[in-house]
Amino acid sequence: MLTSTVPSTSLCYNQPEMENPRKCIIWMFAVLVLLPGFPLLAQAEKDDPPYQSPLKRHNGFSSAFQDFRSGHFHGGVDFRTFQQTGLPVYAIADGNVVTLRMVRRGGGRGIYLRHHDKNTSLYFHLERFAPGLEAILKRRQQRLGTRYVGNIALNPPLPVQAGELIGWSGETGSGFPHLHLEIRDKTGAKLNPFPLVRAGFQDRNAPELDALILRTRADGTANGRVGELRVPLEPGRGVYTPSRPIVITGEVDVVSGGRDISDSGRPVAPKRVSAQLNNELVFQLVFSRFTWEDNNQLGFVYDMRESSPGNFYFNLFAQPGYNLESSGKGLSRALAACRPGSHRVIVEWEDHFANRSRGVVPIEIRALPRLRIGKKERSGTWLFVEVEAVDAPGAERVDLVLVDDSGREISTFPLDISRPLPQRLQLAEPHPARVLEVRCVTRDTVYAVKRFGVATEDPLQMDRVNLNPWITGDTVLIRVREPILGEEILRMRPAMAGAAWKAPFSSLDGLVFSMEGVVAQVASTAPEHLLVLQFALEKNGSLRSMVQETLRVVRLVPGKQAHFKWNDFSARFQPGTVRAPRLMLAEQRSHPAPFPLLSSQVSLKPRHFAFLDRVEYTFTSKVADPHQAAIFRWDSRRKKWNYVPTRLDSRTHRYTTRVRVSGTYALLRDNLPPNISFSSVAGSELPRIIITDKGTGVDDLSVMVRIDNHVVEAEYDPDRRWVLFPDPPKLNPGKHRMRVECLDRARNHAVGTWNWEIAAAAQESG
């Protein structure tokens, strides 16, 4: 039996034994075998979760298995504890306590309990252990002279029984009050706890589907656009449907976004995400088990730009090295293999309690029609034009819409699919214009564009070209937004020997040049990863008004290191950073900053995928106080800079951080000290101490509290941003003075004081 004074070698409570219990069980088993219904009973027992709940009462769960976290999957389930600490925590099955854990952040105070089935259950964020375990921890703390002793391996392990008290819930480590339960198999892989634990969750909430994101590849388009198309999904009678039609040409990647809602109303990840194309399963992701190494696939599973702990965006396409997805196909590959015509995609999310939501998405696949511009004549300022549709594959109905350079619709001509092509579109009346667009429309959606110039005079001179590059895999698409240029006028080529001039294709985003394959040659030979592009205007077979634009492109190849340098910034990529060739585009930004900038703001995009191995970003700068400099990352959602852990090499003046997701980074000087504030707390002799910092954050270990010139044990909680007293001092009636000192990570010093008086009656009543 556990006591609070003597450390126990067993955590088992002494219980009275049954009289010959083994004989009774054997006799009952023999009788049941003879019953006709016994196989059904055995199956029912097999399906029953093997573990009991670690809590006798809770108010639902707040995080699910394999939820998105920055840099890793969530490895268990978080039980809510009524926003309080001190709920008894019980062993979920018989076993042996093999490890105790006590760390400042992360899981905080935890227990590792190995069961007879070789699985191990983990209980994190505990406030206290059971008395026998607490005594072991105290001895280790006294011997090492520190509160946070890390892991304690118990030799021999201490046996416990199912339902035995092992500790009390708390909020140690990271987060607010809750209990994190994790189950690992004998290999260390993390298992989904929901089907294994009889927790009593009452979740009847179906997942919510927000949107589909379509990202085009190579020369693909989505609703006539090159790049990214976001299509909201709207709830209907049992299904979600897109808010607009979707028409694609070529290859696209598809992302499904939304969230499940837990029994406590918190957004969590579902258990299963699947996609069907024309009733064939082409994608399926089931969260049942993952290893530590599988955390590298976080960017395969989730879209890294859109996902957050409350929003989950799943990539529905196959990628090299992505083995958590079970179909091996992927929606994108399946769509690319379809013939032009009408198709149906069903995206289904299922949570851990069989609540399901479906999105039914009709998708029209079209091949680009062949349009030939015929006679173009001008009479004064009026234009006459003829457009010939040579073919329109896969079309049920196509309207050719003629639009002028101001975006105004001039004329519409419905193609008669029952008649043989070609068919011709002519303006009903003359119209002044320099550039016209022919837009192919099906189901009220533009899916193809052809832009052509109609000016008879020489093309305008170009001083520069308005570029908007789009990176897709290992291809760069150069989008040119020049509303007065037609695709037969503008030409482009990379500035390298033997490069041929390329013609663009048209989209609603402007003229587009595809740089597939060419960038690989340039990126491997050009200094500093410079991709120099030459643009020219063509008239009657001759090129005029040539200008140059420069891009900085980093090419990543599996199995090879890459190093990129730009002024005071450099990035080093390891051989295992990617599983397939990828391109990254480097640009400079100018976001507002709360601190002095010590470097340029460097952005590497795209941001929606994760590196498989951490990449080192380094800034070099000589700073008067080098400890005030640190690397920050721009948060595009909240429009603010966030500190990232920075390593300083004072000898070389280099500041380095390791990243798994790209974005915009800069070196800033944090010259603002933390802010310390105080407030009275009802029923407490001690004030509440709040410490906030706008820059690098409070240094936890630097917080020092003195009361009446005596140092008091105190601890900073960065989640709540207040100071805790593990062993609050007992104060006498009278006047008292508190002095709080701390540093931030940039070594900015802050001091705060608080004077108060404790009345004698108040102390007695307390």
Please name which of 357, 91, 75, 407 lies closest in space to residue 208, comparing C-alpha atoms: 357
Supply the pLDDT for residue 763. Answer: 47
Please, where in the chain does CATH 2.70.50 lie?
208-365
* Average pLDDT per block of 10 residues along the chain, 766 residues long: 36 34 36 33 54 96 96 96 97 99 96 98 98 97 96 98 98 96 98 97 96 93 96 93 94 97 96 98 97 94 94 94 89 94 96 97 88 62 58 68 84 73 62 80 90 67 86 88 83 87 91 78 61 87 86 91 94 94 93 97 92 94 96 95 97 96 96 97 94 97 97 95 92 96 98 95 48
Please name which of 135, 189, 179 lies closest in space to residue 158, comparing C-alpha atoms: 135
Please, where in the chain does CATH 2.60.40.1220 lie?
675-765
3-state secondary structure of 60: coil
Supply the pLDDT for residue 458. Answer: 55
Supply the pLDDT for residue 113. Answer: 99
**Cβ count within 10 A of residue 353:** 16
Contacts of 577 (CB under 8 A, 6+ apart): 556, 562, 611, 612, 613, 615
Supply the pLDDT for residue 374. Answer: 64
Supply the pLDDT for residue 43. Answer: 32
Please name which of 442, 537, 524, 435 lies closest in space to residue 483, comparing C-alpha atoms: 435
Q: What share of the chain is helix, strand, coil (3-state, %, to 5)?
A: 10, 50, 40
Give the C-alpha distances (Å, rounded to integers) separating 84 from 47, 56, 166: 33, 15, 18
Supply the pLDDT for residue 10. Answer: 40
Supply the pLDDT for residue 411. Answer: 83
Supply the pLDDT for residue 380. Answer: 52
Query: Looking at the domain 675-765, which fold is it?
Result: Immunoglobulin-like (2.60.40)
Supply the pLDDT for residue 605. Answer: 92
Before 39, cis peptide (omega within 30)? no
pTM over 0.85: yes
Looking up tokens 């603010």 gives: 640
Structural class in CATH, domain 467-553: mainly beta
The CATH code that applies to domain 21-198 is: 2.70.70.10
C-alpha triplet 509, 510, 511: angle, nearest 5°: 130
| Type of residue at 542 | S
Q: Which helix (H) or strand (E) holds 40?
A: helix 38-47
Looking up tokens 């392990």 gives: 157
Q: Are 674 and 750 in contact (CB under 8 A)?
A: yes
Q: Which CATH architecture has domain 208-365?
A: Distorted Sandwich (2.70)
Q: Which CATH architecture has domain 557-669?
A: Sandwich (2.60)
Please name which of 233, 214, 631 lies closest in space to residue 447, comparing C-alpha atoms: 214
Supply the pLDDT for residue 193. Answer: 98
Q: Are 299 and 610 in contact (CB under 8 A)?
A: yes
Contacts of 172 (CB under 8 A, 6+ apart): 108, 109, 125, 126, 127
Please name which of 679, 677, 585, 693 lies closest in space to residue 630, comparing C-alpha atoms: 693
Query: Looking at the domain 374-453, which fold is it?
Result: Immunoglobulin-like (2.60.40)
* H helical segments located in 250-306: 298-301
108: left (phi over 0), alpha (psi -120 to 50) or beta: left
